[in-house]
């Protein structure tokens, strides 16, 4: 078995470069680390999930990787022609993000859909985030989208990369099963209007407290502003409804991922009305 033991091996340098956004954009690859996330990527690649993923290569440290499931997965992927490279535990620690790594990571690629690929038939309800700042929030919101059975996520005017390692990790694999589409706010507004989506915005000053909502109209987009600024008044103008969460203390808002989760569970629990 060919085991890489040098930190300066060109393949190892390539993996480290993918920790930076520029590195990911240059080659169209991202890193997935840990047994469960790699397993989800492999399954998504095999089953042809939303974003058409493929596994480009796998790096593993035989000294660290003890899981029978993971070792069988590596053997199976190698048999399918995926480059599976053994590295020393020491070299693995230089490409792993976490302390005490499990000893496996994969490089994946995705062909992401665009707004033109989405319509109420395939994307009946989802979330749109305007200029989110925190990749951990983006990943946690994808996890909640998966949990409530919503369709996917739109990132509007966003500089956050959904393949940032923190977003991949926080999504717990949900990233591989739901379309994630980057678009401008302007294109989003035109697309939503064209397809008759009901856009529900959120604001501390929203006219409707969610406990007053009896039903949500579908197809539906939940539109959330950035962590710092929320929605601008121009962005709020395209919404058919403005929702607010009751605030009983001193804070005037929730963490973005928490707010999205509370709203998604309310939308999941209440009756749905179709059409306008």
Name the site residues for its own copies (rule: CB under 8 A): 40, 136, 140, 143-149, 170, 172-174, 177, 211, 245-251, 253-255, 257-262, 265-266, 268-269
CB of 171 to its own copies, least distance (A): 8
Tell me the β-bridge partners of 53.
110
Q: How far is the CB of 150 from its own copies (least distance, A)?
A: 9
Is there a cis peptide before residue 219, judged by omega within 30 degrees of 0?
yes
For the beta carbon of residue 209, count every other beta carbon within 10 angstroms. Answer: 12
Nearer to its own copies, 89 or 262 (CB): 262
Q: Residue 44 or 104: which CB sits closer to its own copies?
A: 44
Least Cβ distance, residue 143 to its own copies (angstroms): 5
Question: Cβ closer to its own copies: 24 or 169?
Answer: 169
CA distance 164 to 104: 18
Cα atoms in the Cβ-side hemisphere of radius 13 Å centred on 104: 24
Of the two residues 18 and 32, which places its CB atom closer to its own copies in the complex?
Answer: 32
Integer Cα distance of 46 and 94 in angstroms: 29
CB of 173 to its own copies, least distance (A): 7
Least Å distance between CB 91 and its own copies?
Answer: 26
User: Do 4 and 91 contact (CB within 8 A), yes or no?
Assistant: yes
Q: Which two tokens stand for residue 68?
A: 């029978």
For residue 242, the minimal CB distance to its own copies (Å) is 18
Which of 18, 101 has the CB closer to its own copies?
101
Nearer to its own copies, 70 or 140 (CB): 140
Task: State how far Cα 267 lies from the chain centre.
Answer: 20
Contact between 142 and 179 under an 8 Å Cβ cutoff? The reply is no
Residue 72's contacts (CB-CB under 8 Å, 6 or more residues apart) are: none
Residue placing its CB nearer to its own copies in the complex, 40 or 161: 40
CA angle 206, 210, 213 (to 5 degrees): 110
CB of 213 to its own copies, least distance (A): 11
Burial label, 19 (beta-carbon count in 10 A; 0-12, 13-18, 19+): middle
């Amino acid at each position: 078995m060919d085991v890489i033991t040098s930190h300066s091996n060109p393949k190892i340098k390539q993996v480290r470069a993918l920790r930076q956004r520029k590195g990911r954009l240059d080659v169209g690859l991202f890193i997935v680390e840990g047994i469960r996330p790699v397993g989800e990527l492999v399954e998504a690649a095999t089953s042809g999930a939303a974003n058409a993923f493929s596994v480009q290569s796998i790096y593993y440290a035989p000294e660290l990787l003890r899981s029978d499931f993971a070792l069988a997965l590596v053997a199976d992927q190698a048999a399918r022609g995926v480059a599976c490279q053994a590295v020393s535990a020491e070299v693995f620690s230089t490409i792993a993000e976490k302390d005490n790594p499990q000893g496996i990571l994969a490089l994946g690629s995705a062909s992401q859909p665009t707004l033109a690929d989405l319509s109420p038939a395939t994307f009946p309800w989802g979330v749109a985030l305007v200029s989110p700042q925190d990749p951990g929030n983006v990943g946690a919101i994808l996890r909640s989208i998966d949990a409530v059975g919503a369709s996917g996520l739109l990132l509007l005017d966003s500089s956050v990369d959904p393949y940032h390692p923190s977003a991949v990790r926080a999504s717990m694999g949900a990233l591989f099963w739901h379309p994630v589409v980057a678009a401008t706010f302007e294109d989003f507004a035109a697309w939503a209007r064209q397809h008759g989506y009901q856009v529900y915005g959120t604001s501390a000053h929203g006219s409707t407290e969610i406990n007053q909502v009896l039903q949500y109209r579908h197809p539906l987009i939940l539109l959330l502003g950035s962590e710092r600024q929320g929605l601008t008044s121009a962005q709020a103008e395209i919404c058919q409804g403005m929702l607010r969460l009751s605030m009983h203390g001193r804070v005037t808002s929730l963490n973005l991922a928490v707010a999205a989760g509370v709203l998604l569970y309310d939308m999941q629990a209440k009756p749905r009305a179709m059409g306008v």
